Amino acid sequence: MHFDIIILGSGPAGYVSSIRAAQLGMKTAIIEKESLGGICLNWGCIPTKSLLNSAKILQSIRKNGELFGIKNDQIKIDYSKIIDKSRNAVDKMKKGISFLMKKNGIHVIHGNAKLKKEKKIEIFQNEKSVGEYKSRHIVIATGAIPKIEKKFQYDGKKIITYKEALSSLSLPKKIIIVGSGSIGLEFAYFYHSMGTKVTILEIATKLFPNGDDEISDYLESSLNKMGITSYTSSSINKITYTNNGKILVEVKTLEDNHIVLETDIVLYAIGIIPNIKLIGLEEIGIQIEKGFIVVDDNYRTNIDGYYAIGDVINTPSLAHVASHEAINCIENIKGFSCQKIDYNNVPKCVYSFPEIASVGYTEKESKEKGFKVKVSKFPFSAIGRAISDEYTDGFVKVIFDAKYDEWIGCHMIGNQVTDLISEVVIARKLEATSYEVMGTIHPHPSLSESILESVSNAYGKAIHL
């Protein structure tokens, strides 16, 4: 069967590109070896947010229930229902994507794909070839898989990744989470809220190592207040299984000390790697560099007719980035003139508590790049909406270039900041100056006032500080 375009993978990059291609009149097929929606929908963005919502509701009642007149002395957790709720959210989303495939006339092919020369793809099911397809264009959007340290045996039971964490119906009493990026922090908050004793190990010198220094410092303080233990500049030296089903983890610290921690589970959250093995890239000569498929500004590989988007290329591994790349890739194929993605204006969010959201340069990066900066912070403790909600932790930090008044960075930590960050992304996209932000009326009472006040504070004009 011949198609105008075939997409490998049905995650945020894959299914979005297939829909846009169909909208533009292309005969489209999408290949998926598991469930529609990819890792993000089935084992990432969607189910984790359901779990985190359960955790936030539970913590809110525990912390502030009495203040709001809600008796909280008989709270019980039904962990299996919490997991079921997350899987139900996944099922609803999968049905939605399936509906969109049918609505747009997209041919869905289930199986493992092997790329071949001359824009052909062979499909395997249970290691048996079941057919071959040809297309004018092929888009590789196979996403990413968890990164695991090879020296420790991953068994999916005691040493796990987010995938096992999202499906297990048993709640560990103790867990060690390796890595303090978004995945590690989100699971740390969730498990802590469920009553698990959580320990975080981070090899970098600070938690949330890619974040602004002040955000990282505030985060570490917040986690410590919650009772979450964390070790930075630390790595696992040895893992030993005990006779009683526990795990002993020997940790090497910065001072070259060795401490031994007992746990039920080790969850690896040290990152992800492109899912590009065994799909035929080497056979057809597609260029790979540092584990990523190499593409140009229009997502074309070095082989004509083959494209790559999302986590398989060396751009931020985020669902919203993948979806945007998908649209640009398809429209470029159709000959449209597309606005290039500004990867420095991509919002990055962590949905733990406190939430973290950022865009642009950190203060350290700004200074390293030679900017003379104006920096300001404004605390949520001075915002009326935060006070009424009893979520006053955190702050909004803004960074402006003092010479041109360009908004070069913004970093937030606190309640609902993952929703607030979009205002900053749009403002930076439109090259808004501090003067224009200060001249924009923000609703009262709202958390968005923190942005207005932080910008105003950078120029000595804050009212509530």
- DSSP H helical segments within 334-404, as ranges? 363-368, 384-389
Residue 444 annotated to the active site: yes
Please tell me the distance from the alpha carbon of residue 441 to that of residue 434, in angstroms, as a whole number.
Answer: 13
Cis omega (within 30 of 0) for bond into 47: no
At 284, list the tokens. Answer: 């057809």
Q: Of these residues, 324, 442, 444, 464, which one is catalytic?
A: 444
What distances in angstroms separate CA 283 from CA 76, 80, 277, 286, 370, one per listed residue? 56, 45, 11, 8, 45
First-to-final CA distance of the chain: 67
> Do the beta carbons of residue 25 and residue 47 sit within 8 Å?
no
Q: Quick one: CA dihedral 189, 195, 196, 199, positive or negative? A: positive
Nearest in space to 141 (alpha carbons), one of 390, 277, 308, 359: 308
Q: Token pair of 128, please? A: 């048996």
208: left (phi over 0), alpha (psi -120 to 50) or beta: left
d(CA 224, CA 221): 5
DSSP string, 205-224: SSSSTTS-HHHHHHHHHHHH
Give residue for tokens 């979806």: 323
Nearest alpha-carbon partner for 343 in 379, 318, 371: 318
Tokens of 14: 């894959």
61, β-bridge pairs: none
Nearest to 14 by CA among 339, 329, 289, 348: 329
Other Cβ atoms within 10 Å of 149 Cβ, number: 14
Q: Hey, is 26 helix, strand or coil?
A: coil
Q: What are phi and psi of 177, to 5 degrees?
A: -105, 120
SS (H, E, C) 331-382: HHHCCCCCCCCCHHHCCEEECCCCEEEEEECCHHHHHHCCCCEEEEEEEHHH
Cite the active site residues.
444
